[in-house]
Structure 1
């Protein structure tokens, strides 16, 4: 009788996830525990050889190449930190220009006006926020940029009256084309007063078009439910809302409108403390980035191809790692600082990116890095096409259209095409693998070979490591362009074969084990969704 019960319990465990009833290491958050010594070995190897040593080699090479970089990529920094700093990242410099004294004064004045409006004329608060936002943006980017944006906005608001999704899509794709056409861009260049205004206009048009898309498609779907939600002032506030205008994070119109229209109440002490805590986190990120750029010139190497290709292998790997970490920290700041300002208006925006080293799947990278963009793609492309509920073919078609739109939105460049293609292939392979491993046949085979939970975890890490490497290389392709992206692949994989790929596989395996242990300790959802913020 007892043997029947044991067999029955074993079958149940097999269905629930291939458990070994005799395994001493119990699962937590669905992940088995490893021996402590084994984890310590993985941790030591990952910290020393995956993170510290490659970055140290970049530091050594950077200091040895100070006078070899192209002119202008290194500028005078803080004397106490050594004098010179890496100034080659355009996007970081672009954002930093916005938070000069003028930008900071405008933001603090905006916060003060918002508090006064809430206290003395709460019913007019949104109108005050809209007026101040539009005036502030005009002061920061000149009236010419604002005029261009208003022309785009008025056109899209008129398009929304068609109440046809295909017309909206055609208008958005057409407007995006206007900032890709060399012929039209030449007119824009002549119209704007400076290079900063020119690039700001292009970037703002691209970002605003995602908001146009969200508003217009929501208008098409929900106008009959409540037409008062889609007034011209609601539209303009959504498009030009100052805290989120320049860098995001993106929000759908529905989410933004529901929050901004809520009856506002005074923030409690606990809410103010939460905002201050988050802001301090982002200030620390800014300080860390600025200090690091005095010692490791990773961005400068991407402006000096000849120096990059002559780097020793460990230094080249470290340079790529620095770029990936900087990519995440940069958007942590660019999404996080606006988020804290929006929180003062009781608008809860998508959270900043997850740590890029803590993501080893393509699916999770898209889900938890730019959460706002993921929400737009999910709600307006993936789900309308069918999503995961309409079968595998519709699911993959939805994913393909999402990546096709991302490619088009980013500017139809060659390296963006390959980056989007590699990401789509990665998502497809992960989806197929997940379906195969969750099939009854696969579970029966695993049970047949009597694999323990710990063995299953080791196999999971081993087979996840190649995907983790592919994800890192794909991100480097996106960040550095086609020539430098291929250089990383050629030096790290092809020319160093087989030693290089095997070393990378082992190091990435150790990192996957650390990530799995973090998921086991705190929970993947808690970490990836940043529930601790």
Structure 2
């Protein structure tokens, strides 16, 4: 009797999940984070120091090189006069004059909990939250874990009962479907795509929350709610991806049809034509 090959099950497990670690999959997130780092770093003006917090928790915006009574400072709030904005909640001190280093770039782009599949955080959000991590209440963490476990149970139940997309999409003798059957199948396919994608997003988000960060929830609604309409699905599926496109593509292009076309083209280029 031949000895069992111990290495094959582990190799099979890795082969089944090789796309998760494929550079073609992770490179789009790396590129988007690199662009966010560059664009957010360009906003910093070395003449400005923002978020100077006094003992009374009032924020003053000061621009160097301009006096309080100069004409340049009288017409706008960005002038040389110090603007007391009243008593505001304290925020982490953030010196915009700080030059970003390669270590800052690596810390943001290669942040492990969110590296593989997000949720995406802009560099400005990541820097502010990492400067002063806020512990998540245990009750909220328990709710997030319960939501993740419920989604895992739904996916497992569907895969073991009614969900067999390969039998219809890839099978050699694909049965014909009428209009109603096509609609039901498309609805189930969308339903499962949302659930299967929400699992890694939720797990990564929980890991980041355990370290004091608060990434946006990429799947904030329950699956039965997002499949009611296409509009609701698009607004509740991969939320951080949509926010990134809106901030760095849609708004700079001026919005409207041009911004929408640019956002769709950028999303298609990042996903790849094969997807």
TM-score normalised over the length of structure 2:
0.68
- Written as runs of structure 1 = structure 2, the 5 A alignment for 1:252-401 is 252-262=122-132, 264=133, 267=135, 271-301=137-167, 303-311=169-177, 314-353=180-219, 354=221, 355=223, 356-361=226-231, 364-387=232-255, 395-401=256-262
Equivalent position of 2:269 in the other structure: 408
Structure 2: unaligned runs, 5 residues or longer: 1-12, 49-95
- 2:20 and 2:163 mapped to 1: Cα distance? 27
1:222/1:94 Cα in 2 relative to 1: closer, same or farther (>3 Å)?
farther
Question: 1:239, CA displacement in angstroms?
Answer: 1.0
- 1:201 and 1:370 mapped to 2: Cα distance? 20
- The one of 95, 100, 111 equivalent to 1:230 is 100
Question: 1:309, CA displacement in angstroms?
Answer: 4.2
Question: 1:302, CA displacement in angstroms?
Answer: 5.0
Residue 328 of structure 1 aligns to a residue in which SS? helix
Name the structure, 1 or 2, with higher relative contact order (CA <8 Å, separation 6+): 1
- The one of 237, 240, 254 equivalent to 2:110 is 240
- 1:368 and 1:400 mapped to 2: Cα distance? 20
Residue 403 of structure 1 aligns to a residue in which SS? helix
- 1:312 and 1:359 mapped to 2: Cα distance? 21
| Larger Rg, first or second structure (1 or 2) | 1
1:257/1:198 Cα in 2 relative to 1: closer, same or farther (>3 Å)?
closer
1:410/1:246 Cα in 2 relative to 1: closer, same or farther (>3 Å)?
same
- The one of 38, 45, 50 equivalent to 1:216 is 38
Query: Which of the pair is proportionally richer in helix?
Result: 1
1:401/1:197 Cα in 2 relative to 1: closer, same or farther (>3 Å)?
closer
Query: Which of the pair is proportionally richer in strand?
Result: 2
1:351/1:410 Cα in 2 relative to 1: closer, same or farther (>3 Å)?
same
Contact 1:331 1:352 in 2 (8 A): no
Instruction: Write the deviation string for residues 108-147 of structure 1: whole angstroms up to 9, x where unpaired.
Output: xxxxxxxxxxxxxxxxxxxxxxxxxxxxxxxxxxxxxxxx
Residue 385 of structure 1 aligns to a residue in which SS? coil
Question: 1:228, CA displacement in angstroms?
Answer: 2.5
Residue 384 of structure 1 aligns to a residue in which SS? coil
Question: 1:96, CA displacement in angstroms?
Answer: 8.6
- The number of residue pairs the alignment matches comes to 211
Instruction: Write the deviation string for residues 221-241 of structure 1: whole angstroms up to 9, x where unpaired.
Output: 225352426222221111111
1:302/1:229 Cα in 2 relative to 1: closer, same or farther (>3 Å)?
farther
- The one of 121, 128, 149 equivalent to 1:251 is 121
Question: 1:318, CA displacement in angstroms?
Answer: 2.5
Contact 1:350 1:371 in 2 (8 A): yes
